[in-house]
Chain A
Amino acid sequence: GAVVSQHPSRVICKSGTSVKIECRSLDFQATTMFWYRQFPKQSLMLMATSNEGSKATYEQGVEKDKFLINHASLTLSTLTVTSAHPEDSSFYICSAKGRGAVGETQYFGPGTRLLVL
């Protein structure tokens, strides 16, 4: 089946530093990738949608200059949290959608847990 990976699985960083999270579709080409954030005991919140080769579309209230998204290839999207602060600590999850049979649903990565000290 369609597999999506994320790296790293968890990261701890100091306040003010930037953190990059990678999302890869391992066995299919992802025409669209999505980034979500999930705080403890809450549901997933969609942050942005990215299509390969074009700029990401951000949801209302999500700062595009703080959460930089790059979807440079059909198998890789990256989310960079710039100048991270403790309130950015969260569980970040990506998903991917392709064409054909893998285009009917989204396939999720295992998530990246970010802790900003």
Chain B
Amino acid sequence: DAKTTQPNSMESNEEEPVHLPCNHSTISGTDYIHWYRQLPSQGPEYVIHGLTSNVNNRMASLAIAEDRKSSTLILHRATLRDAAVYYCILVSYNTDKLIFGTGTRLQVFP
């Protein structure tokens, strides 16, 4: 499985934008980029996913580099409830498996 690399932790202040990076230099052409987040003592929650084009939804935006070797999850205005571990995961079109890495722990300060 192609692997992703994320910073261990990041910090933000409330109501500021947050850019969470993810490197995936070995991504294949059929790999989708998925982002999930896990709040303390809860199951993960789907955030967003994309293949080549940038994507927006009510939770976040996903910016995908032109060569697809990196992507950035953008939280436009961080809130205290966004404090979580964010996982960037590559999912091949022919498999359902999610292989979780260590993710990025986001702290949000008031």
Contacts and interface: CB of A to CB of B under 8 A. Distances in A.
B41 interface: yes
Contacts of B34: 105
A43 B100 contact: yes
Nearest to B34: A105
Interface stretch (B43-51, B66-74, B76-84): B43-51
A97 B38 CA distance: 18
Contacts of A34: 96-98
Interface residues of A, number: 24
Contact of A97 (B44, B96, B99): B96
Interface stretch (A13-21, A65-73, A76-84, A108-116): A108-116
A113 B40 CA distance: 13
Contact of A44 (B44, B45, B96): B44
B98 A111 contact: no
Given A43-B103, A46-B97, A106-B96, A95 B49 contact: no
Contact of A110 (B43, B99, B100): B43
B100 A106 contact: no
Interface of A: 4, 6, 32, 34, 36, 43-46, 49, 91, 93-95, 97, 104-111, 113
